[in-house]
Amino acid sequence: MKNSLLSFAGGHEIVNELPVHPVMYGVIVLVVLLFLLLVTHAFRNVHTRH
């Protein structure tokens, strides 16, 4: 049993590679939020036109 625990603890690690560099996730989120800010800004005075 001790050998099986040691082999389990010392086994290989499962590494899941990210599809893009981690910094790019922040850049993508920033671009999406800026786009949503522009959309919100474009509709800021719609209620006063009618």
Distances (CA, A) of 40 to 35, 37, 49: 9, 5, 16
Q: Where are the domains of the chain?
A: 17-50
Token digits for 42? 């474009």
- Residue-averaged pLDDT of the chain: 84
> What pLDDT, in 10s, does the model give residues 39-49?
999 998 888 87
Say whether pTM exceeds 0.85.
no
